[in-house]
Chain A
Amino acid sequence: MTIAGLIQKEFSRIKSDRRTLILLFTIPMILIVIFGLTTGVGPTKFFTAAIISRDEMPTYDNFPSNSSEYDNIFISIMEHNTTAWDLYRYFNSTNSGEYNQAVNQCFSLLKNDIIDVFIVLPQNFSESIANNSNPVLIYYIDGSDLSAVGAIEVALQEPIALFRVEINMLENFTIMVPHLEFGVPSWESQLLNYSLSLILPIIIIGTTMNLTSLSIVSEGPLPRMLITPTSKRDILISKLIANTVIMLIQATEIFVMTSFFGLYSLGSLFAFYLVLVMIGLSGVAIGLFISAISPTEQGANQMYLMLFIVMIIFSGTLLPAESLGGARFLADFLPLSHASVLITDITLRGLNLNIEHMLSLLLISLVFLTVAYISYKFKKLEV
């Protein structure tokens, strides 16, 4: 049988499995539609907080007066004027007993995840402002919430800035104004475009692996075909070509769908399409590898599913690549870590194809294909 004949046979086999084909083309469509139709990204309130004011408690030392004119202004700003804060409640403590009670309540709110942080305004809060000395803010944060711990001090600058403007405390005030470069503009579909670098590679690799991981192991007549002049190499090549064609159609569908549902790309669309194809090719190669080395259909199934889970864990997106330490080589050897960088570079940064990552993807595909060929060549098949 010629390679053309084998490819034709392979297409007939794929066509007969209509369910896989439907899945291959509908999953990306559904997910892109969901993400594409969703506008906006990012929570409207980043921190839910409680405030305990001790400002009305008597002050001594350098502050003989007992002023408390500023705590209410700060609380009011936290409640009404900030964009990043949601004030859950505030406590006005006039003595130690009330303060201890408030602290206990706040710890309980913190422990039960009702608030992310509680802020304490000390006894001398208003006095410090009136005397032009440094006012102190004390916060207690849920340290188990990494994102909250990392963002709290910068987030506090918003109510502090608004407060300083409100009470005209502008002297020696230095603040940063952030500008987000290479971000997705607010009028674009932010959810789709920020998650694109992640969802597209996962969908493409997952579905193409699904398509190919059973292609060798589940085909009963293959051993009999080997009695004819058809070689194992021809069989593998025909499967690679047929599955690559299906993958190309899927990549085209994904490309059209993302463009239709709000793809925001500063870079070349052709480069973007090429990246999708390269990701698909690595999925096909890994699928063929699984199918070639698995002794049974069930083994191939389980290996595909497990490998897919491991690939996601070491993709560099679930766990940041920097924190993987020595396990980073695993991330580098799997296609997802290269795929997300390539997509981000093209869509958000407007860069050309990153040759290093493209070659890495190609190398990964070639390694898996070579191992698939070697193991299939030495695989013992019973007719």
Chain B
Amino acid sequence: MESSKLKNLNLKKGLLRLLKQIKKEFRLLWTDKFNIFIALIVPPLVVVAIGLTSSNPGATMQPINCVVVSYDSNTFIEENNFTESELDDYNLKYLEAVNSSNLLNLVQFFNATEEIYAMETARNYLIAKKIKIIISIPVDFSELITWGYPGLIDCITDSSDIKKIQASLNAVYDSIKIFVSQNNLTPQFEINGFEEFSIPEGYSFNYNYMMVLVLSFMIIGVGMVSTILTVVQEKPVARLLLTPVKRVEILTAKYITYISILIIQSFSLIISALSFGLYLVGSFIDLFLSLFILGFTGLAIGIFISTLSKTKTQANQLFLATFLVLILLSGIFIPIDAMPIYLQVFAYILPLSHGSPLITGIITKGNSVFGFDFFALLSVSLILVVASFILFQRRKYEV
């Protein structure tokens, strides 16, 4: 009986110490106004900046500049019987299709029969960034279509920006669709597409796409920034350890304090994002939990770095190294599928790679937060939390 009473008493004392520590942490945080500004004001401010400038739902795509170089009027010599042909019936018809396409802007048309340096001029336009695509109609284009063979159109795209190649191919494909339809070239495959889980009309496609990236990026980044110095900068810890306060209590208090800040951060981010037109199919709670777990992982990385570092400069450097790896290998800039297997495995350990799928699943598909990405983030953060407690326990302090 007595031992259980003693245990209860110790527990009460421990809780009281923890409460005092949390109070101290809040006071400490309050003295650092800049940290509060970064943690609570900057994230919604970034969302507001993007919301004010890009939440217009009527934003349309700009047509892509192109030139058409046609060799169709040149003399075509059939390989098998050496007969000559100068058919070019479909040449101008295709040009009409290019002009009709909303995705293409025809800068110039070259008839290579008359202008022998047409392709060279077109390439110079491409190098000088006047155009993004050269569409080349080969010498046998009209002949092949007339004789019942496939008509090929060469599409030379500027591939220096790998992310924009698809848009160029789509634009040329659009012109081919128009060409086929205007000239009643049958039989053709009719493709009817239906988009599921897409952003409905009235919502800005751009804004919603950007928010998925910005929310996960901000919450992890700010979580790290606001905590990387939390252990390493606190000089009185050494003296605090002379009192009955335990190391576990000190670190737990820090976690609780920053978790409270994280809760406010997540709410403010969601509310500011929703107020500028974030489309949300899933529940508010799921979105909140997704931001919370992402932010908690950032916070766990930050505190882990802080317990691992001996000086503020070292914490700073470790942050930079971690952050660089985090952003470069999380699939935001380089698709994870494009990486070799060993980097893919590493990428899936990084929290930022789970941000987009987790948030997209909730806002567009109404998925529950409790899926693979959530548990992956939870596992990573728990490992870091445990590691930070072990490191803090073993940390040497001189009074």
Contact = CB atoms under 8 A, between A and B. Distances in A.
B180 interface: yes
A228 interface: no
A342 interface: no
A201 to B, nearest CB: 12
B334 A191 contact: yes
A177 B153 contact: yes
A62 interface: no
Contacts of A364: none
Interface stretch (B170-178, B237-245, B385-393): B170-178
Nearest to A42: B338
Contacts of A17: 313
A207 B316 CA distance: 11
Contacts, number: 298
Interface stretch (A238-246, A322-330, A370-378): A322-330
Contact of B155 (A42, A107, A177, A199): A177
A12 interface: no
Interface of A is mostly: helix
B154 A173 contact: no
Contact of B188 (A134, A306, A351): A134
Given A140-B196, A326-B52, A174 B148 contact: no
Of the listed residues A132, A156, A313, the one surrounded by the most CB atoms of chain B closer than 10 A to its CB is A313
Interface string B15-26: 000000000000
A317 interface: yes
B105 interface: no
B149 A170 contact: yes
Nearest to B176: A174
A131 B367 CA distance: 44
14 contacts: A41-B334, A113-B357, A137-B191, A138-B194, A143-B196, A144-B365, A147-B166, A154-B166, A178-B157, A179-B156, A206-B323, A301-B229, A303-B34, A351-B127
A170 B46 contact: no
Contacts of B176: 174-176
A94 interface: no
Contacts of B210: 319, 323
Interface of B is mostly: helix
Interface in B42-96: 42, 46, 49-50, 52-54, 56, 59, 62
Of the listed residues A132, A137, A144, A199, the one surrounded by the most CB atoms of chain B closer than 10 A to its CB is A144
A33 interface: no
A17 B311 CA distance: 11
Interface string B319-347: 11101110110001111011110010000
Contacts of A337: none
A161 B153 CA distance: 14
A133 interface: yes
A348 B161 CA distance: 9
B233 interface: yes
Contacts of B317: 19-20, 23, 210
A183 interface: yes
A132 B333 CA distance: 45
B194 A140 contact: yes
B167 interface: yes
Interface string A297-330: 1110111111011101100011110111111101
A382 interface: no
A129 B186 CA distance: 11
B14 interface: no
Interface string A338-366: 00000011001111000000000000000
Given A134-B189, A170-B150, A302 B367 contact: no
B307 to A, nearest CB: 17
Interface in A176-191: 176-183, 191
Contact of A27 (B313, B314, B320): B320
A183 B229 contact: no
B49 A199 contact: no
B276 to A, nearest CB: 12
Nearest to B317: A23
A31 B324 contact: yes
A4 interface: no
Given A144-B364, A174-B180, 6 more contacts: A42-B335, A136-B189, A140-B196, A174-B152, A344-B160, A351-B127
A181 B156 contact: yes
A156 B193 CA distance: 11
Contacts of B127: 349-351
A150 B167 contact: yes
Contacts of A299: 34
A43 B49 contact: no
Contacts of A157: 173
B196 A152 contact: no
B198 A144 contact: yes
Contacts of A199: 328, 333
A258 B309 CA distance: 31
Given A113-B361, A128-B187, A178-B155, A173 B320 contact: no
A326 B106 CA distance: 27
Contacts of B199: 143-144
B399 interface: no
A203 B319 CA distance: 13
B104 to A, nearest CB: 12
Given A38-B340, A41-B338, A136 B52 contact: no
Given A138-B194, A303-B34, A19 B217 contact: no
A73 interface: no
A327 B50 contact: yes
Contacts of B62: 322
Interface in A110-134: 110-111, 113, 128-129, 132-134
A227 interface: no
B190 A181 contact: no
Contact of A344 (B123, B161, B180, B367): B161
Nearest to B373: A113
Contacts of A318: 213, 217, 332-333
A202 B327 CA distance: 10
Interface in B350-370: 357, 360-361, 364-365, 367
A153 interface: yes
A249 interface: no
A143 B197 CA distance: 5
